[in-house]
């Protein structure tokens, strides 16, 4: 979805390096999510944010941190990258107006390789 | 705990034939179910969702899904497959216990041959 953008699209880094993945959205949504995708495992939630002051851990938050700089921006950081963080990372957004039944819209993904 | 399962890693269909991608779920309470599609080098695109009401849900690109409560299934269907439908398909269920996150199945690779 062009309304949700992620940068970079591809990144190769070395073990121990700090990297940041960025997500921006123009949909005006309050909720933002970071997932990672691994083959055969589907997508798993890393962190989520309901607004700028509300950030929560997902099911696999260890080794990651996030920052919600504005309603439209949600960044994911790997403080010290390790090879098993090699994955495809997706940002997603959703609105709150459907009584909790809203659809999540995904960015194009960032493919990360940690050597 | 909420979960979904996609029992087939891959589905192969000839163009023009009907296709079915299977999904079963396990939830406490009412299920809110979704189908997403991922084309190569693209993000996930929303296809359709079931919340309540009619058991047959129609979505994008001619896809539909049938909700079956007794069989706890939410299979994705299309009457006539296209080569361009070849992609990775994910079933997901909404987990209200953790920020409304989506719990995804492992994905099913659909291959449509001419």
pLDDT tens track of chain A, all 115 residues? Answer: 569 999 999 999 999 999 999 999 999 998 999 999 998 888 999 999 988 999 999 989 999 999 999 999 999 999 999 999 999 999 999 887 555 567 889 999 999 999 9
Q: Which of B9, B90, B99 sits opposite A56 (nearest CB)?
A: B99
- Distance between CA atoms of residues A113 and A23, nearest Å: 18
Taking 60 as the threshold, does the pLDDT of residue B17 lie above it? yes
Q: So what's the pLDDT on residue A101?
A: 64
A36 in Cβ contact with A109 (< 8 Å): no
Q: So what's the pLDDT on residue B98?
A: 62
Question: Which H helix or E strand runs over B111?
Answer: strand B108-113
Could you read off the pLDDT of B88-107 as tens digits, one per residue? Answer: 999 999 887 666 778 899 99
- Distance between CA atoms of residues B52 and B32, nearest Å: 8
Q: How far is CA B96 from CA A40, A81, A89, B2, B29, in A?
A: 24, 31, 22, 9, 10
- Extract the tokens encoding A62: 């260890």
Q: Which of B34, B43, B101 sits opposite A108 (nearest CB)?
A: B43
Q: Which of A8, A10, A42 is best to mutate for the B interface (most B CBs within 10 A)?
A: A42
């Amino acid at each position: 979805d062009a309304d949700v953008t992620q940068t970079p699209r591809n990144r190769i880094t070395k073990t121990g390096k700090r990297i940041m993945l960025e997500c921006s959205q123009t949909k005006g949504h309050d909720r933002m999510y970071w997932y990672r995708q691994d083959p055969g495992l589907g997508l798993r939630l890393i962190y989520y944010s309901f607004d700028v002051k509300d950030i929560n851990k997902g099911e696999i938050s260890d080794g990651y941190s996030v920052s919600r700089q504005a309603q439209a921006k949600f960044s994911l950081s790997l403080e010290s990258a390790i090879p098993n963080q090699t994955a495809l990372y997706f940002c997603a957004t959703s609105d709150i107006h459907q009584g909790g039944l809203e659809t999540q819209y995904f960015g194009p993904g960032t493919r990360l390789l940690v050597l | 705990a909420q979960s979904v399962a996609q029992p087939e890693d891959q589905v192969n269909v000839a163009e023009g034939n009907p296709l079915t991608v299977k999904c079963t779920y396990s939830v406490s309470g009412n299920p809110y179910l979704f189908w997403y599609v991922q084309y190569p080098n693209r993000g996930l695109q929303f296809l359709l969702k079931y919340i309540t009401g009619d058991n047959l849900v129609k979505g994008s690109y001619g896809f539909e899904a049938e909700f079956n409560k007794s069989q706890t299934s939410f299979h994705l269907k299309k009457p006539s497959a296209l080569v361009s439908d070849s992609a990775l398909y994910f079933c997901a269920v909404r987990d209200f216990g953790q920020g409304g996150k989506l719990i995804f199945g492992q994905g099913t690779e659909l291959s449509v041959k001419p």
